[in-house]
A and B are shown apart, each in its own frame.
Chain A
Amino acid sequence: MSMMEVPNLGTVYSGEELGRSLEGSSGKAFSRRARLSFYNRTFKIVCIASAVFVCLILFSILLLMGRTGILTFETVSLKTFFFSTEWVPENEQYGAFIFIFGTIALTLLTMVISVPLSLIIAIFLSEMTPAWLKNALRPVLDLLVGIPSVVYGFLGMTVLIPMLRSVTGTTLGDGILAAAIVLTIMVLPTISRITDDSIVAVPKKFRDASYALGSTRFQTVVRVVIPAAKSGIMYAVILGMARALGETMAVVMVIGNTPQLADALFKPTSVLTSNIVMQIPNVPFDSAWNYALYMMGFILLVISLIMIVVVRAIQGRGVKS
């Protein structure tokens, strides 16, 4: 329908407005109109096709991962896969509990360290810094987001782990704490920048009202500004969480990659992502082992999709309020 408007315009303004372009084209106005409508229609189709293509990719990934992953349960029972701690491909034992638990524990530990830190950084950036310093610090944080994760992993392996070893006296140093520290450094800029933006977006009148009532700057920030920016902060935390959850390269280099439960901070362990990347090059096709790795990928995918849905919901609420 909207397509037809352009050719109609052509007839309405024919002559003066469009001038020679109308006559200059080979012959009658009709052929130009037909051509325009052809272009418009083609463009529309290309646009729709691109959108459909993106959706198709998402659905085919979900389908492929899910369908291949489901094959795990032909040989491994649901209960074994989700609750057994025995992951021994040599003996056909595929209990993924260690990795699911590891992923959750690692993400939570990362959040416990990174959220308070990022919040403080964001408050400092938005409430206490003079403008010139703000303008210098924000690009620094943005650049930090762009550093490839393998660089963080490498530094974690060669700098952080020896440091942890000498500070704590453990022999190996690999484990969930080392991974959480590396991930914290990775997600810190993401969380603090988005939190910063949402704090800046809190209207000045809120602060003015708070100060007028006699509150100190600390009270204003903690009681007024942060509650007002709550949905933005939640959004930042979930984005950071999604990044921590799916991170692979940085984690695989510092976590130790041993299928044992992460019940101590310095015990080599493994998470979903690191286990997949460690084992996929050596896995026989059409084996329960391969399917189990796909299932683990599918679980990761589902968790991150849920997070995206939650982010959307929060965003929607933020817009309303």
Chain B
Amino acid sequence: MKTKWFRNLGLAVMALSLTFGSVSAVSASSKLSGRIVINGSSALLPLTLQASNEFKKLNPKVKISASAAGSVTGPQSVRKGIADIGACDWDASTSVPGFAAFSGQVANKVAVIPFAAVTNGSVGVSSLSTSDLQGIFSGKITNWKDVGGKDAKIVVVNRAFGSGTRVNFQLKALNGTDFMTKGDNYKEVKSSGDMKTAIETTPGAIGYIDLVYVSGSKMKAVSINNVAPTEANVINGTYKVWSYGYYMTKGQPTGAVKAFIDYVQSSKFQNGSLKKLKFIPLAAMKK
């Protein structure tokens, strides 16, 4: 209740700045008009912003304002009526560990997001089984030599509770096993960027991250059950640790909101800008 008008204010400021930024839209023949407010996952924000820029060129009368906080704010804003679209890293119409289902909301798939378990470059382990991962992230396995690496303590780096990446990694890579929560060799970070820095600078560290962040030699993405985390393996169905990114709407989308979601799902956008942003197109997943 109390936080609502804070967020409203934030949205209003965002909306205002975006409105001023988009006055000079290229002339187009669309009659579509309206106003779309998007809030939610920061992982999907680059995609949302790119799509809204392109969409506004085609439909100059549609105003889109997009902002992002955490994944859960997406479906929450939709429930409160603050936003028309709530971007979320999981299907918020079903319940996931820690978060109840948002009833009455429709999940519209917009992209495929692969995740990878990553270790510091010095660890010397290239593949881990699901049970290895469960043991490591629950704190039962504490030394790399127990999983085929050198004799070094394992440092577990986790995202804070509520992170969309955390929800997906727990569901897909750990099969729902709980994370450890305490210990001298356990820490939490608040964003994917911090995760990258922590893994790169901490010897013996293990964590997980969106595949797009994996680069360089200081951080190594490990194979899970001997399957390498690559786009090709996600598409051919052997690498399981990925999830859809969703746009949550209150009921079935209509009007401008529907047109916008259709645009994001269109093969033009999916195979163009979405691919450039290193997401995987939805169509690639249909076997």
**Which residues of A are at the interface with B, using a C-beta cutoff of 8 A?**
64, 67-68, 88-90, 157-158, 161-162, 165, 170-174, 252-253, 256-260, 264, 266-268, 277-279, 281-286, 290, 294
B263 at the interface (CB under 8 A from A): no
- Chain A neighbourhood of B183, CB < 8 A: 258, 260
Complex: how many Å from CA A171 to CA B183? 12
Complex: how many Å from CA A144 to CA B186? 33
- Chain B neighbourhood of A266, CB < 8 A: 184
User: By the criterion CB–CB under 8 Å, are A283 and B72 in contact?
Assistant: yes
- Chain A neighbourhood of B73, CB < 8 A: 281-282
User: Which of B72, B160, B188, B203 has the most chain A CB within a 10 Å cutoff?
Assistant: B188
Q: For chains A and B in complex, what number of residue pairs have CB atoms within 8 angstroms?
A: 96
Give the contact stretch, choosing among B58-66, B130-138, B189-197. B189-197
User: By the criterion CB–CB under 8 Å, are B188 and A257 in contact?
Assistant: yes
Name the interface residues of B171-188: CB closer than 8 Å to any CB of A: 181-188
Complex: how many Å from CA A283 to CA B3? 11
The answer, among B42, B99, B187, B194, for a CB contact under 8 Å with A268, is B187
User: By the criterion CB–CB under 8 Å, are A158 and B197 in contact?
Assistant: yes
- Chain A neighbourhood of B202, CB < 8 A: 172-173
- Chain B neighbourhood of A286, CB < 8 A: 1
Complex: how many Å from CA A286 to CA B80? 11
Complex: how many Å from CA A268 to CA B160? 14
Complex: how many Å from CA A257 to CA B186? 9
User: By the criterion CB–CB under 8 Å, are B155 and A171 in contact?
Assistant: yes
Q: B252 → chain A, closest Cβ, in Å? A: 24
User: By the criterion CB–CB under 8 Å, are A172 and B155 in contact?
Assistant: yes
- Chain B neighbourhood of A290, CB < 8 A: 3
B144-172: CB near A (< 8 Å → 1, else 0) gives 00000000010100001111000000000
User: Which of B73, B184, B194, B201 has the most chain A CB within a 10 Å cutoff?
Assistant: B184
Complex: how many Å from CA A167 to CA B2? 48
Closest residue of chain B to A170 (Cβ to Cβ) is B184
Known: A279-B160, A281-B73, A282-B161. A64 touches B2 (CB 8 A): yes
Complex: how many Å from CA A264 to CA B185? 13
- Chain B neighbourhood of A278, CB < 8 A: 160, 188, 190
Complex: how many Å from CA A175 to CA B184? 9
Known: A90-B98, A258-B182. A172 touches B187 (CB 8 A): yes
The answer, among A89, A171, A256, for a CB contact under 8 Å with B188, is A256
User: By the criterion CB–CB under 8 Å, are A174 and B204 in contact?
Assistant: no
Beyond contacts A266-B184, A279-B162: 13 other A-B pairs, Cβ-Cβ < 8 A, are A64-B2, A90-B161, A158-B201, A171-B153, A171-B155, A172-B187, A256-B188, A264-B184, A268-B188, A282-B70, A282-B73, A282-B163, A294-B2
The answer, among A88, A165, A281, A294, for a CB contact under 8 Å with B69, is A281
- Chain A neighbourhood of B163, CB < 8 A: 282
User: By the criterion CB–CB under 8 Å, are B76 and A268 in contact?
Assistant: no
- Chain A neighbourhood of B52, CB < 8 A: none
- Chain A neighbourhood of B161, CB < 8 A: 89-90, 279, 282
6 sample A-B contacts, Cβ–Cβ < 8 Å, listed by A number: A90-B97, A171-B204, A260-B182, A279-B162, A281-B190, A285-B1
Complex: how many Å from CA A282 to CA B80? 16
Closest residue of chain A to B77 (Cβ to Cβ) is A285
Q: B73 → chain A, closest Cβ, in Å? A: 7
- Chain B neighbourhood of A277, CB < 8 A: 190
B4 at the interface (CB under 8 A from A): yes
The answer, among A158, A253, A284, for a CB contact under 8 Å with B72, is A284
User: By the criterion CB–CB under 8 Å, are B181 and A88 in contact?
Assistant: yes
- Chain B neighbourhood of A268, CB < 8 A: 184, 186-188
B250-286: CB near A (< 8 Å → 1, else 0) gives 0000000000000000000000000000000000000
- Chain B neighbourhood of A294, CB < 8 A: 2
- Chain B neighbourhood of A259, CB < 8 A: 181-182
User: By the criterion CB–CB under 8 Å, are A162 and B201 in contact?
Assistant: yes
Q: B142 → chain A, closest Cβ, in Å? A: 10
Name the interface residues of B1-43: CB closer than 8 Å to any CB of A: 1-4, 42
Name the interface residues of B56-95: CB closer than 8 Å to any CB of A: 69-73, 76, 80
Q: B161 → chain A, closest Cβ, in Å? A: 6
Closest residue of chain A to B180 (Cβ to Cβ) is A258
- Chain A neighbourhood of B42, CB < 8 A: 281
Complex: how many Å from CA A283 to CA B2? 14
Closest residue of chain B to A286 (Cβ to Cβ) is B1
Q: B121 → chain A, closest Cβ, in Å? A: 14
Complex: how many Å from CA A259 to CA B186? 10
Q: A163 → chain B, closest Cβ, in Å? A: 11
Q: B61 → chain A, closest Cβ, in Å? A: 32
Closest residue of chain B to A161 (Cβ to Cβ) is B201
Q: A170 → chain B, closest Cβ, in Å? A: 8
Complex: how many Å from CA A36 to CA B90? 65
Q: A215 → chain B, closest Cβ, in Å? A: 50
- Chain A neighbourhood of B186, CB < 8 A: 256, 258, 268
Closest residue of chain B to A173 (Cβ to Cβ) is B202
- Chain A neighbourhood of B190, CB < 8 A: 252, 257, 277-278, 281
- Chain A neighbourhood of B2, CB < 8 A: 64, 67-68, 294
Closest 7 CB pairs of A and B: A282-B162, A281-B70, A282-B70, A256-B187, A257-B188, A268-B187, A68-B2
Q: A129 → chain B, closest Cβ, in Å? A: 38
Complex: how many Å from CA A252 to CA B187? 11
- Chain A neighbourhood of B182, CB < 8 A: 258-260
Q: B102 → chain A, closest Cβ, in Å? A: 10
